[in-house]
Amino acid sequence: MTLAAAIRTGDAGLLPSRRDEDWRWTDLRGLLRVLPDASAAFAGDAGAGPFSALGGEDLVLVNGGRAEIAVEAGEARQVCLRFVSRGAGRHASVVRVTLGEGARLRLLESYESDGASLAQVDLDIVQAGQARVERVVIADDDADAVTVSQTQVRLSPGSRFSQSVLTSGARRQRLETRILHPGGQAELRLDGIYLLDGKRHADLTTVVTHQGVDGATGQLTKGVVRDQSRAVFQGRITVAEGADRTAARMAHHGLILSDRAEIDAKPELEIYADDVACAHGNTVGALDQDALFYALQRGIPADEALALLTEAFIGEVVDRIEFEPARDIARAWVTARLGGRP
> Smaller CB distance to other proteins: residue 95 or 307?
307
State how far Cα 61 lies from the chain centre.
18
Give, in order, the Cα–Cα distances in Å from 279 to each of 66, 218, 267, 323.
39, 10, 11, 27
Rule CB under 8 A: is residue 313 a binding residue for other proteins? yes
Least gap, CB of 210 to other proteins (angstroms): 31
CA 295 to chain centre: 32
Residue 76 phi/psi, 5-degree rounding, is -125, 125
> Residue 166: which residues within 8 A CB-CB, separation 6 or more?
136, 137, 138, 139, 192, 193, 194, 195, 330, 333, 334
DSSP 82-143: EEEE-SS-EEEEEEEEEE-TT-EEEEEEEEEE-SS-EEEEEEEEEE-TT-EEEEEEEEE--T
33 contributes a contact to other proteins by CB under 8 A: no
Q: Which of 294, 322, 336, 340 binds other proteins (CB under 8 A)?
A: 294
Asked if residue 90 lies in contact with residue 7, where contact means CB atoms within 8 angstroms, the answer is yes
Does 214 interact with other proteins (rule: CB under 8 A)?
no
Ranges within 85-144 binding other proteins (CB under 8 A): none
Q: Which of 55, 301, 340, 342 binds other proteins (CB under 8 A)?
A: 301
Residues in 251-290 at the binding interface with other proteins, rule: CB under 8 A: 288-290
Assess 312 for contact with other proteins (CB under 8 A). yes
> Of 47 and 340, which CB lies nearer to other proteins in the complex structure?
340
Closest separation between CB of residue 149 and other proteins, Å? 28
Nearer to other proteins, 160 or 222 (CB): 222
Q: Is 333 in the site for other proteins (CB under 8 A)?
A: no
Q: Which member of 54, 116, 143, 300 binds other proteins (CB under 8 A)?
A: 300
Single out the residue of 295, 320, 325, 327 in contact with other proteins (rule: CB under 8 A): 295
Sheet holding 216-225, edge to edge: 57-62, 76-85, 104-113, 132-140, 160-167, 187-196, 216-225, 246-256, 276-285
- The phi, psi pair for 35, rounded to 5°, reads -85, 145
Q: 3-class SS at 291?
A: helix
Under the criterion CB under 8 A, does residue 306 sit at the interface with other proteins? no
Interface segment toward other proteins; rule CB under 8 A; list 7-15, 16-24, 140-148, 291-299: 291-299
Q: Does 71 bind other proteins (CB under 8 A)?
A: no
Measure the CA–CA gap between 264 and 232, rounded to whole angstroms.
5
Between vectors from CA 57 to CA 55 and to CA 59, what angle results, nearest 5°? 125
Q: Closer CB to other proteins, residue 272 or residue 293? A: 293
Helix (H) or strand (E) holding 3: helix 2-9
Per residue, what are the HEC states of 14-26? HCCCCCCHHHCCC
Contact between 304 and other proteins per CB under 8 A: yes
Q: How far is the CB of 253 from other proteins (least distance, A)?
A: 11
Window contacting other proteins (CB under 8 A); options: 34-42, 91-99, 138-146, 294-302? 294-302
CB of 212 to other proteins, least distance (A): 36
CB nearer to other proteins: pick between 45 and 297: 297
Contact with other proteins (CB under 8 A) among 296, 320, 323, 335: 296
Stretch that binds other proteins, among 31-39, 268-276, 302-310, 322-330 (CB under 8 A): 302-310
Complex with other proteins: residue 44 or 299, whichever CB lies closer: 299
Burial (Cβ within 10 Å: 0-12, 13-18, ≥19) of residue 289: exposed
Summarize as ranges the residues that interact with other proteins (CB under 8 A). 288-291, 293-302, 304-305, 308-309, 311-313, 315-316
